[in-house]
A and B are shown apart, each in its own frame.
Chain A
Amino acid sequence: MKIIVCIKQVPSVSQVGIDEETGVLLRDGVQTKLNPYDLLALEAAFLLRERHGGEVVAVTMGPPQAEQAIREAYYMGADRGYVFSDARFAGADVLATSYTLSQGIRLLGAFDLVICGKQTTDGDTAQVGPAVAEYLGIPHVAWVEHMEGADGGIRVRQDLPDTCETVFMKYPCLITVERGALVPRLPSWRRMKGLRERPVEIFSFVDFMDGDEGKYGLSGSPTRVIRMFPPKSSDSRETWTGSGAELAERMKSKLQEMKVL
């Protein structure tokens, strides 16, 4: 069984500055980490590999230093990894990112399953996974919280807002995963010591089958960010004193006033 996992580096802190004039995230000097949902995707892949055999291939799109993300996937348990990197891929929105990933995945030959995290913690769109599947022309289910390999396909439980739905899909297909019961394994020092020399292959624009530059990066991105700004936050607090009963009554009124109750 061949499982491809899409991963991405995101800022490792929740408070990232925003250039209010250009609306661009100030990423310089900000530490990065693997998107937490992608760690779940990797864990799901490892568990399926443990049960059904096969290999786990990690892929990412980004600058050459995104190689670090692949290395981390190696240290967690991935067998192979690729970075899709080219200056022409820069500035991609959801559409161009999905297209780039689908083009990269096509270079890896036949596969059974693609797993993505539900969303990233920087872009938060939750659209890239399903869009990659559409470009690859394969079925997909998002928000999967439980999965098990079944005859020639996978049975998944999808966590919808009001219901849970169990779906069977034949391979090849794509899922995006929710936390569910998954606890990502930690990177292993033994693997780190043993795999430092394992290569990370880089595919660039010239390797891709579709050579239409207009489909990649900024030029392939119809989305225009008009304005980006940090959400308002407030530290204001009120201190009340009184008996337990008085405070409880006051709390109830306040919550009603705030329309929380």
Chain B
Amino acid sequence: MNTMEFSKVNTEDIAYLKDLCGERVFTGDAIHEDYGHDEMPEYGVHMPDVVVEALTTDEVSAIVAYAHVRGIPIVPRGTGTGLCGGCVAIHGGIMISTARMNKIIEFDEKNLTVRVQAGVVLLDLIEESKKRGLLYCPDPGEKSATIGGNIMTNAGGMRAVKYGVTGDHVLGLTCVLADGSIIETGGKVVKDRSGYDLKGMFVGSEGTLCVVTEALMRLLPLPAYTMSLLVPYESVEACISTVPRIMEARIVPTAVEFAQREVVLLAEKSLGKTFPHKTAPAYLIFSFDGSTQEELSAAYEKVADICLESGAIDVFISDTEERLESIWAPRGEFLEAIKSSTDEMDECDVVVPRGRMADFIYFLEELRKEQDIRIVSFGHAGDGNLHVYVCRDGMDKEEYAKKLQTCMQAMYDKAKDMDGKVSGEHGIGHAKREYLAQSLSPEEMAAMKAVKQAFDSKGIMNPGKVVYID
């Protein structure tokens, strides 16, 4: 179904939804302007025709079943913290907000699982797990995102090096399919080879295959000890080249982050706090956790030595709450700091093999000089995922648009040359569709379209996202 064939939401549709969800249905001016965009309004503002704040799986099921019959687009949305327009209603239709489905249903401490509604906020799940001595492993930077949103984008975050991404911790999902039917896939089992891995298919599908309403997530015992290292370098090359050496030494830190001085200074300004070291051109930040002090010391001492052997200026040890805060608070501020440093920006979330990261950063330096535009980056050095921001800085709008297009194309082309991928963790949404299409082989794209077709033959599930269906 193409755009032209979607049905417009009419008064009967609204009456149906109001009958179902009462005052939790919003139309016209009653829809808050935030529902028109995510964290990147640069990609356009598109208001849905109606927003429904769902409370239960049954309600979601009834809404989707109705929309299926009527041919109305369905756009699921959590707290709208995405960065590529994934939860924006570019074709209008019904937006299902899961923000009020925010109950943590059950902690099962025998099976180390937690069942949540899709709208539970990441920070709440982390904190509630911590209170029980449990670790919710995924650690995306945006803590006000919902678990449903994290699953739909397969959000990564800093601990991905050791613990993997959100999808690695999904044990089961309750989903509403495009015709409104409800399925429970996966469960409280550690192993599952019973047919196709549907939950694996739904993870990262950005609402284009189903609406997730509940999730069963894996937990781990909370590590008793955590510490970090802040490592300054005289050059980006020495800095990035350390990471493969650590992997070669068979040590897996919890997180390995990369930052250049420019971003550190922006974060300082934005937070009004001073970073513990700021004279070096480039930094690595490591995080470690473990169940004993000895285990932790063994790992970090080895890493510290490798850093020095690789040309680090020094290695600074952060082993208390205050010291961790002094490093990680500015790190958590990087994105906002870059945003507030300019009037407009666009981002690129490429991921390249870890061994090519330094080359990619050098390429960015060249691109910056060549295009004469400010390009700022930071990233997850441990997994090769870079966040790159092209800043307008008051440039003429047309000139910026032209340069931005050139830079984005050059970055995605370069990533492809390096066997990298379009998005490490932010997803495709509607903003990165073209680049995804360019990066995949026709066969792989056809397979993706076939999946979309199989689950959503009418094309009503979050249309215009990830893949085009003509």
Contact surface of A with B, Cβ cutoff 8 Å: 12, 33-34, 36, 39, 75, 181, 183-190, 192, 241
Of the A-B pairs whose beta carbons lie under 8 Å apart in the complex, a sample of 28, sorted by A's number, is A12-B320, A34-B320, A36-B320, A36-B322, A181-B274, A183-B273, A183-B275, A183-B276, A183-B326, A184-B276, A184-B322, A184-B323, A185-B276, A185-B316, A186-B276, A186-B316, A186-B323, A186-B326, A187-B317, A188-B314, A188-B315, A188-B316, A188-B317, A189-B308, A189-B315, A190-B308, A190-B315, A192-B317
Is A189 within 8 A of B276, CB to CB? no
Identify A186's interface contact among B273, B274, B277, B308, CB under 8 A. B277
Whether B321 sits at the interface, judged by CB under 8 Å, is yes
User: Across the interface, do A33 and B274 meet the contact criterion of CB distance under 8 Å?
Assistant: no
Q: Please determine whether B274 and A183 come into contact, CB atoms closer than 8 angstroms.
A: yes
| Distance of A187 Cα from B316 Cα, bound (Å) | 6
Asked if B83 CB lies within 8 Å of chain A CBs, one says no
Nearest residue (CB) in A for B293 is A31
Which chain A residues lie closer than 8 Å to B316 at the CB level?
A: 185-189
- B465: shortest Cβ distance to chain A, in Å? 29
Neighbouring A residues of B273 by C-beta, 8 Å: 183
| B residues 299-328 in Cβ contact with A at 8 Å | 304, 308, 314-323, 326
B7 vs chain A, min Cβ distance (A): 30
B287 to chain A, nearest CB (A): 14
- Whether the Cβ atoms of B274 and A189 lie closer than 8 Å is no
For the complex with contacts A183-B326, A186-B277, A186-B326, 7 further pairs of A-B residues with Cβ separation under 8 Å are A12-B321, A75-B317, A185-B276, A186-B230, A187-B317, A188-B315, A188-B316
Q: How far is the CB of B148 from chain A (nearest CB, A)?
A: 19
Alpha-carbon separation in the docked complex, A75 to B319 (Å): 13
> Could you mark each residue 50-83 of chain B with 1 if its beta carbon is under 8 Å from any beta carbon of chain A, else 0?
0000000000000000000000000000000000
In the bound complex, how far is the Cα of B315 from the Cα of A76, in angstroms?
12
Report Cα–Cα, A73/B44, bound state, in Å.
54
Q: CA of A39 to CA of B1 in the docked complex: distance in angstroms? A: 65
With A183-B276, A184-B276: A189-B314 Cβ-Cβ less than 8 Å: yes
Cβ–Cβ < 8 Å partners of A184 in chain B: 276, 322-323, 326
Nearest chain A CB to B315 CB, angstrom units: 4
Indicate with 1 or 0, residue by residue over B259-284, a CB within 8 angstroms of chain A CB atoms: 00000000000000111110000000
Interface residues of B (CB under 8 A from A): 100, 229-230, 273-277, 304, 308, 314-323, 326
> When A and B form their complex, which 5 residue pairs have the shortest distance between CB atoms, in order from nearest?
A186-B316, A189-B315, A183-B274, A189-B304, A33-B320
Distance, CA A75 to CA B273, complexed state (A): 23
Given A181-B274, A183-B274, A184-B276, does the pair A189, B320 have CB atoms closer than 8 Å? no
Q: How far is the CB of B381 from chain A (nearest CB, A)?
A: 19
The distance in angstroms between the C-alpha atoms of A59 and B315, with both chains bound, is 25
CA distance A93 to B354 in the complex (A): 56
B428 to chain A, nearest CB (A): 33
- CA separation between A186 and B229, bound complex, in Å? 9
A190→B312 CA distance, assembly (Å): 10
Residues of A within 8 A of B100 (CB): 241
**Closest B residue, CB atoms, query A191:** B314
Q: How far is the CA of A186 from the CA of B283 in the complex (A)?
A: 14
Specify which chain B residues have a CB less than 8 angstroms from the CB of A192 in the assembled complex: 317
Inter-chain CA distance A31–B36, complex, in Å, is: 49
Is there contact, CB below 8 Å, between B317 and A186? Answer: yes
Chain A positions within 8 Å of B326 at CB level = 183-184, 186
Residues of chain B within 8 A of A181, CB atoms compared: 274
For residue A33, which residues in chain B have a CB less than 8 angstroms away from its CB? 319-320
Contacts A183-B326, A184-B276 given; indicate if A190 touches B321 (C-beta within 8 A): no
Residue of A nearest to B300 (CB): A189
Contact of B322 among A39, A185, A190, A241 (CB under 8 A): A39
Return A234 CB to nearest CB of chain B, in Å. Answer: 14
**Distance of A46 from chain B, by nearest CB (Å):** 13
Shortest Cβ distance from A190 into B: residue: B314
The reply to whether A186 and B322 form a contact with Cβ atoms under 8 Å apart is no
How far apart are B328's CB and chain A's nearest CB, in angstroms? 13
Residues of A within 8 A of B322 (CB): 36, 39, 184
> Which of chain A's residues have a CB closer than 8 A to the CB of B319?
33, 187
Query: Which residues from chain A contact B274 at a C-beta distance below 8 Å?
Result: 181, 183
* Partner of B318 from A36, A75, A186 at Cβ < 8 Å: A186
Cα–Cα, bound, A189→B315 (Å)? 5
Closest to A33 in B: B320
| A-chain residues with CB within 8 Å of residue B317 when the two chains form the complex | 75, 186-189, 192
The smallest C-beta distance from B257 to any residue of chain A, in angstroms, reads 16
Contacts of B323 in A (CB 8 A): 184, 186
* A34 CA / B230 CA spacing, docked (Å): 19
Which residues of A have CB within 8 Å of B229?
Answer: 189
State the Cβ distance, A73 to closest chain B Cβ, in Å: 13
The answer for the CA separation of A185 and B326 in the assembled complex, in Å, is: 10
Residues of B within 8 A of A189 (CB): 229, 304, 308, 314-317
Residues of B within 8 A of A190 (CB): 308, 314-315
| Cα-based distance from A75 to B322 in the complex (angstroms) | 17
